[in-house]
């Protein structure tokens, strides 16, 4: 094998684990998952309850401003604590302006639309219980952009598959 090809292959081997994803750590490293490099971190909190929020670039400037993904985690003593965590967050959702429930595919999901300012947003929430932690994944995007919605929803589903459960 010639030297330039060997150098290129070696570089790809070392670069490939990090290609296209940023590793996120929460709750002192107990919860870890990758997010796409294109997602821009816009907020992070630490403490008893931790939250990471990412802005997701969209098909227009308005989408980029509104589309976001958040992950919230809290240490809970047991499954009842998890149910209380999820119940509190679901209850909060029903108080949003023009809240309209959608059809969830599983009991650990919450799907709905609500208004933020003048824009109707589609919300997808999924709840996880992992090693004593209650976790909420919340994906929010403009409801009326089908092309962007399809790629956004795919990214959200990929993240849900990587969150420990």
Domain boundaries along the sequence of the chain: 22-162
Residue 83 φ then ψ, to 5° = -65, -35
Chunked mean pLDDT (size 10), the chain, 165 residues: 35 38 91 92 93 86 76 97 97 96 94 92 96 97 87 93 86
Q: Edge-to-edge, what's the strand order for the sheet holding 119-130?
A: 40-45, 49-55, 68-75, 133-142, 119-130, 109-116, 100-101
- At residue 17, the 3 state secondary structure works out as helix
Query: What does the pLDDT read at residue 58?
Result: 77
The Cα 9–Cα 4 span in angstroms is: 9
Query: What does the pLDDT read at residue 19?
Result: 46
Cβ atoms of 144 and 120 closer than 8 Å:
yes
Pick the CATH number of 22-162 from 3.30.460, 2.60.40, 1.10.3210, 3.40.1000: 3.40.1000
Query: What does the pLDDT read at residue 63?
Result: 57
Query: What does the pLDDT read at residue 146?
Result: 82
């Amino acid at each position: 094998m010639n030297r330039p090809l060997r150098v290129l292959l070696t570089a790809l081997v070392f670069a490939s684990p990090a290609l296209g994803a940023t590793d996120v750590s929460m709750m002192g490293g107990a919860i870890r998952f990758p997010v796409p490099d294109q997602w821009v971190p816009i907020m992070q909190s630490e403490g008893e309850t931790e939250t990471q929020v990412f802005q997701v670039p969209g098909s227009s400037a308005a989408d980029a401003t509104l589309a976001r993904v958040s992950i919230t985690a809290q240490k809970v003593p047991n499954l009842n604590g998890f149910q209380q965590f999820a119940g509190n967050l679901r209850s909060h959702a029903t108080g949003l302006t023009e809240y309209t429930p959608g059809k969830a595919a599983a009991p650990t999901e919450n799907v709905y639309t609500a208004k933020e300012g003048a824009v109707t947003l589609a919300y997808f929430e999924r709840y996880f219980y992992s090693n004593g932690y209650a976790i909420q994944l919340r994906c929010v995007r403009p409801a009326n952009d089908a092309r962007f919605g399809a790629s956004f929803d795919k990214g959200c589903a990929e993240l849900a598959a990587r969150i420990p459960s």
